[in-house]
Chain A
Amino acid sequence: MEFSKEEVEHIASLARLSLSEEEKELFGSQLSSILRYMEKLNKLDTRGIEPTSHVLSLSNVMRDDIPGPSLPKEEALMNAPDHTDKFYRVPKIIE
């Protein structure tokens, strides 16, 4: 697997990362060598093997649907780079 510059740019845009030209080049070659290493997984026959997403056999852990205390608005907003008294504020999306 060799990453072209276009592929690096495609992945970066999916990940919402803007990369410098140097980063594109560096990551392209590093990711290629890491992925070549990962291709060793193809040597293993995994036909019919269930994938493991989680080691515990817990599923659908529910709590009772009773309202409890939650984070006060001021505290929820206190770490935001920009906010009003009720909302997070972001740059304009629609003209």
Chain B
Amino acid sequence: MLNFNNKSKVFIEFETENQQLNHDNSTEENRLKLYSLTISEVRDLLERKEVSVKDVVTSIYERIDAVEDRVTAFVTITKDEALKIADRVQEKITSENIKSTTSLLGIPLAIKDNMCTKGIRTTCSSKILSNFIPPYESTVTSRLIEQGYVLVGKTNLDEFAMGSSTENSGFHITKNPWDLESIPGGSSGGSAAAVAADECIAALGSDTGGSIRQPAALCGVVGLKPTYGRVSRYGLVAFASSLDQIGPITKNVQDSAILMNIISGHDPLDSTSAPLPVPDFTAVLGQDMKGIKIGIPKEYFIEGMDREVGISVRDSIKKLDSLGAIPVEVSLPRTGYAVATYYVLATSEASSNLARYDGVKYGFRAEGKDLMDTYLNTRAQGFGAEVKRRIMLGTYALSSGYYEAYYKKAQQVRTLIKRDFEEAFKAVDVIVTPTSPTAAFKVGEKTADPLQMYLSDIFTISVNLAGVPGISIPCGFTSHNLPIGLQIIGNHFDEESILKVAYAYEQSTDWHKRRPNL
């Protein structure tokens, strides 16, 4: 083992303490490592009244004090507010004796800073929104509030979620907790790094082309992008509206299912949210894998993929086979066109969505001699290089004379990519691939060449284009002790199958129990 299993360490220390000291005195030791626990573990301790909400919240902020200056996962840390909420929630637990198995009472979570939190600065890691205080709450965080969660802080991202390394943040970069000289992935790099560094119990991210799954893979945690329409986008700052989805980033698969139960479901405030019933996603965990057909798309095992990533993913497929699943080769023939398709469509939608940042209604304004000049200056000074590049690309693809050649063409290829998945899911229950062609790369390694950066999303992008759900779970480590992720893709609105397979794999391995040495 390269790394000590932190979670069992907690309990080993508990026992030692208990043997040495009177039982009541173990609480102090108990509190110190609470940050390393999962949602279900914290919930159990709270229900058994072994710890208080304040113990849990304090433990998280002590951890943040210890590691955040090296990881820099957060844009805003909401400690004062969190301690107040902790007191309120504790009162609720004490007075009402709540024992709901679905609640998040007292659970500290981090939220990517592109989801609106009422009264709490929401920046999208962009200078243009650096002073934006939302007057309303996003639907996902409203649902978390109803369940009694405690907001730890707002996490860093590539500006407007445009990027694969979090290096495009308008404020600062975030480091990978496994190697502080490497990137955490992106765009939800802050959320993934915060979970991996135990700076929160779990987090929410958003995924337009892989922005939950790729950073989860690179940080050794679990990240799920739900089916398009499963989770409301109301209050999520729009990047590419036909692709964006919010989802959980967690320390294990069970926590992923717990958060999915809370954030999923129809929302009248998002006309693209699906009016479908939501199953209990935790119910499938532990179900038998016998006879489950797992598709292995030959197009995903390509040149350019890191050798160690390839070995880990092939070993994972063998493991799934040994658990009773049946591997079947499938073909997704249009895979090689996904990155090109995505960067036409996502930038086109972005150029339209980001037209609203004009320095009039909210956000930063740079004065000009007239209104036009104000627009030009505001956008020139407020947006970073990658955002400008994408606005330019999208504006070009939508411009007169090029619309048919780029935008419409890409929409047609999107249809073909979607059909590839529909065809594959006639034969299999889930599809298994690497999440990313490489483990985490070094800070600065790909910033000079945007196209190389775009190609790091090659295995995640098709999933957004087709609108299907995908999860990334830890499946190994490189010789440099960097995490490797396994992606499990499901059919539309079949998150249950990917959670079932992910859980079965996770329970038969211990990759997810490893923690970085910080």
User: What distance in Å separates the Cβ of B237 from its nearest Cβ neighbour in chain A?
Assistant: 13
Binds A, one of B19-27, B369-377, B429-437: B369-377
Of B334, B339, B406, which one neighbours A44 at CB under 8 angstroms? B334
Known: A19-B388, A79-B135. A34 touches B418 (CB 8 A): no
Asked if B45 is at the interface of the complex by the 8 Å CB criterion, the answer is no
Chain B 348-383 near chain A by CB (<8 Å), digits 1 or 0: 000100010011111111011111111111011001
Asked if B67 is at the interface of the complex by the 8 Å CB criterion, the answer is no
* Closest Cβ neighbor of A33 among chain B residues: B451
Asked if A86 is at the interface of the complex by the 8 Å CB criterion, the answer is no
27 pairs across A/B with beta carbons < 8 Å? A12-B392, A15-B379, A16-B379, A17-B380, A27-B389, A30-B389, A31-B393, A31-B396, A34-B393, A34-B450, A35-B393, A37-B340, A41-B340, A42-B409, A44-B337, A46-B413, A49-B416, A53-B242, A53-B411, A58-B274, A61-B272, A79-B132, A79-B363, A80-B361, A81-B362, A81-B363, A91-B368
- Per DSSP, are chain A's interface residues mostly helix, strand or loop, or mixed? loop
Chain A 24-42 near chain B by CB (<8 Å), digits 1 or 0: 0001001101110110111
Using a CB–CB cutoff of 8 Å, the interface residues on chain A facing chain B are: 8, 11-12, 14-19, 23, 27, 30-31, 33-35, 37-38, 40-42, 44, 46, 49-56, 58, 61, 63, 71, 75-76, 78-82, 88, 90-93
| Bound form: Cα–Cα A27–B389 in Å | 7
User: What distance in Å separates the Cβ of B512 from its nearest Cβ neighbour in chain A?
Assistant: 30
- With A18-B377, A40-B337, A53-B242 known, 5 other A-B pairs at CB within 8 A are A16-B375, A17-B383, A31-B389, A49-B412, A91-B368
Interfacial chain A residues near B393, Cβ < 8 Å: 31, 34-35
Known: A52-B414, A54-B272. A93 touches B451 (CB 8 A): no
Interfacial chain A residues near B415, Cβ < 8 Å: 49-52
Is the pair B388, A79 in contact by a Cβ cutoff of 8 Å?
A: no
Interfacial chain B residues near A82, Cβ < 8 Å: 365
User: Of residues 236 to 258 in B, which have CB atoms within 8 Å of A's CB atoms?
Assistant: 242
| Bound form: Cα–Cα A59–B385 in Å | 36
Interfacial chain A residues near B413, Cβ < 8 Å: 41, 44, 46
4 closest A-B pairs by beta carbon, nearest first, are: A55-B467, A51-B411, A79-B362, A81-B365
Of B242, B343, B365, which one neighbours A38 at CB under 8 angstroms? B343
Is the pair A56, B380 in contact by a Cβ cutoff of 8 Å?
A: no
B135, B272, B355 — which one has the most chain A CB atoms within 10 A of its CB? B135
Interfacial chain A residues near B204, Cβ < 8 Å: none
Asked if B341 is at the interface of the complex by the 8 Å CB criterion, the answer is yes
User: What distance in Å separates the Cβ of A49 from its nearest Cβ neighbour in chain B?
Assistant: 4
Asked if B471 is at the interface of the complex by the 8 Å CB criterion, the answer is no
Is the pair A41, B135 in contact by a Cβ cutoff of 8 Å?
A: no
Interfacial chain B residues near A40, Cβ < 8 Å: 336-337, 340
| Bound form: Cα–Cα A54–B418 in Å | 11
* Closest Cβ neighbor of A63 among chain B residues: B268
